[in-house]
Amino acid sequence: MSTLTNALPVTAASSHCCFCSMQCGIELVPGEKGAGLTVKPSQHFPVATGRLCQKGLNALDHVLHEERVLAPLARSGGGWRQAGWSEAIGGIAAEIQRIQAQYGRDAVSVYGGGSLTNEVCYLLGKFTRVALRSKYIDYNGRYCMSSAAAAASRAFGLDRGMTFPLSDIPLASYIILAGTNIAECQPTMVPYLLEAKKNGAIIVTIDPRNTMTSKLADIHVRLQPGFDSVFVNGLLHVIVQEGLYDRKFTEERTHGFAQLAEAVKPYTPSYVEELTGVLEAVTRTIARGFAKAQRGIVMTARGLEQQSNGVENTLNYINLALLTGNVGSGVRLRRRHRAGEWARRPGARPESGPAAGVSID
């Protein structure tokens, strides 16, 4: 647990942990004699149910760490020396102007991230497009959940992290966790899964590793990396061939069913077993269980998204929810950073944000 100390008295404050999409509530509590701050879980933030994981309990380490840079540093003799702000800002500006004068405006690119505040993400995008007049800006999500964003946009026409509140998880009767290790990455979500299990839900984890999350599962599929789409094609094949899909929902709310049915036709459970090693019976059991469940939920994350075919992998799991009518209550594309949405939309994503797509001469 982090404790921030200083010489001045401080007062209590409420805030949120910035390290994942749970955004758990934290209380900054004054230390002894009113000096310093200690992080404690908020008992008034309903999503985290009064809990914090180690990331939240140590949220002040960004401020406290002994290696935190408090002033500009400049390279000198193979090392670093402290520089003044005027020197640093002036030197950076001069070098940017030199490079752009010699190679053009787009010779300078900017890279942001979800750890920045919403306001800084916006200003970073504006700085790049309006001040630098460069078209090259991106952010850490390109290596994070961009596959999920692209898949959601293709499936739903917009990029959103989930289609249901966390309070729906305990109401689910079948939950598939694909490429996600919630117990270690978003621990404060685990109570929702445990409550679902208590209510009789079946939990399936799909992960090549044995993890803390897989220990919660009723079925654990140790799928080899790179075979996610093949495996889900097998699930879709069983649901289509056995007529287990939601006919009313697919007819009224989706398009492309005939193309999907044709695409997954070759992926029989026996063929999937040949390619992946996952037993035919396991594929059939999961497909039938999910399709017949009153409420099914699919949660995906970086494990299947950060692959060369990550968009395809994610789309397949979205199709699984669409085919069974579990959209609005069944798809969660998990985020990691608090500011992930803002880093993308009004800030650092190349196709959106201030002046995005505008040609500036």
In tens, the pLDDT along 177-206 reads: 999 999 998 899 999 999 999 999 999 999
Per-residue pLDDT band for 304 (boundaries 50, 70, 90) equals confident
- What is the rounded distance in angstroms from the CA atom of residue 252 to the CA atom of residue 271? 32
Q: What is the mean pLDDT of residues 271-287?
A: 97
Residue 132 has a pLDDT of: 95
Please state whether 36 falls in left (phi above 0), alpha (psi between -120 and 50) or beta. Answer: left
Q: Please give the pLDDT value at position 8.
A: 44
In the β-sheet with 331-333, what is the strand arrangement from edge to edge? 219-221, 202-206, 174-178, 296-300, 331-333
Examine the pLDDT at 4 and tell me if it is beyond 80: no
Whether the predicted pLDDT of 244 surpasses 70? yes
Strand, helix or coil at 205? strand
Cβ pair 62, 3 in contact under 8 A: no
- Reported as a single tens digit per residue, the pLDDT across 206-233 is 999 999 999 999 999 999 988 999 999 9
Check pLDDT > 90 for residue 60: no
pLDDT of residue 164: 81
Q: Which residue has the higher pLDDT, 281 or 163?
A: 281
pLDDT at 11: 60
> Is the confidence at residue 6, as pLDDT, over 80?
no
Is residue 315 within 8 Å of 155, Cβ to Cβ? Answer: yes
Residue 28 forms beta bridges with which residues?
Answer: 13, 39
C-alpha to C-alpha distances, 173 to 170, 203, 230, 344, 345, nearest whole angstrom? 8, 9, 25, 33, 34
Average pLDDT over residues 278-285: 98
CA distances to 103, 110, 123, 125, 129 from 100, in Å: 5, 13, 20, 18, 14
Tell me how far apart the alpha carbons of residues 112 and 137 are, in angstroms, rounded to a whole number.
8
- CA distance linking residue 292 with residue 246, whole number of Å: 10
Question: Do 290 and 235 form a contact (C-beta atoms < 8 A)?
Answer: yes
Spell out a b/e string for 287-313, using b for 16 or more CB atoms within 10 Å of the CB, else e: bebbbebebbbbbbbbbbbbbeebbbb
**Could you give the percent of the chain with pLDDT greater than 90?**
49
Distance from C-alpha of 109 to C-alpha of 111, rounded to nearest angstrom: 7
Number of alpha carbons in the 13 Å side-chain half-sphere of residue 73: 11
pLDDT score recorded for residue 146:
75
Report the candidate in 202, 188, 183 with the shortest Cα–Cα distance to residue 298.
Answer: 202
pLDDT confidence tier of residue 158, bands split at 50, 70 and 90: confident
pLDDT, average across residues 234-257? 95
Find the farthest-apart pair of alpha carbons in the chain and give their distance in angstroms, rounded.
71
Decide if pLDDT at 333 tops 70. Answer: no
| pLDDT at res. 331 | 56
CATH fold of 3-64: N-terminal domain of TfIIb (2.20.25)
Per-residue model confidence (pLDDT) at position 142: 72
pLDDT score of 308 = 81
Mean pLDDT for all residues in the chain: 85
Closest listed residue to residue 234, CA positions, set 274, 191, 264, 200:
264
Do 177 and 217 contact (CB within 8 A), yes or no? yes
Give the per-residue pLDDT at 361.
47
- The domain limits of the chain are 3-64, 110-144+338-361, 147-333
Q: Is the pLDDT of residue 312 over 90?
A: no
Give a three-class secondary structure readout of 133-166. Answer: CCCCEEEHHHHCCHHHHHHHHHHHCCCCCECCCH
Identify whether the C-beta of residue 40 lies closer than 8 Å to the C-beta of residue 15: no
Top CATH class of 147-333 equals alpha beta
Q: Among 4-13, 64-73, 139-148, 285-294, which is the least confidently predicted range?
A: 4-13
pLDDT value at residue 360: 46
Higher pLDDT, 18 or 135: 135
